[in-house]
Amino acid sequence: MAEPLCDDLMVQQQVNTKWQHMVGVIMLNQTGRKPVKTVLPEFLSRWPDEEAYLNSTPEEVIEVIRPLGFYNRRERAIRGMSRDYLTWDGKDATMLYGIGQYGSESYRIFWLGERFEPQDKELRRYLGYPQKEKVI
């Protein structure tokens, strides 16, 4: 079993490729960072890139990602994103299946080096922006 990711760094700071980043983003959707930091290393030890992943079966993947919940949806999202990734131009991350605003903002920050005020509270914290007040 692979060692969990470091707890004091964001998942996005602990991956090696853009594809791995997108997998991490999909895993973080509707899930806390601690379970992802345990599951993602095992996932990446089996499928380090999109080509290896696309040669897997959904059943193999679900066995690994089951602890995160929503495993059928996650597997479909990672598979769809991986297929799109093969022809993606590396610009707009929302062009990848399953990648929304958070994934796009995260990609822009960690891979394109852009600095802007993101919507997500964890990305805001990472960049040093104050947290937005909740409107009741």
Q: What is the number of other CB atoms lying within 10 angstroms of the CB of residue 49?
A: 15
Tell me whether residue 113 is exposed, middle or buried, using C-beta atoms within 10 angstroms of its C-beta: 0 to 12, 13 to 18, 19 or more.
exposed
Q: Is 120 a catalytic residue?
A: yes
φ/ψ (deg, to 5) at 87: -120, 10
d(CA 93, CA 105): 9
Catalytic residue annotation: 120
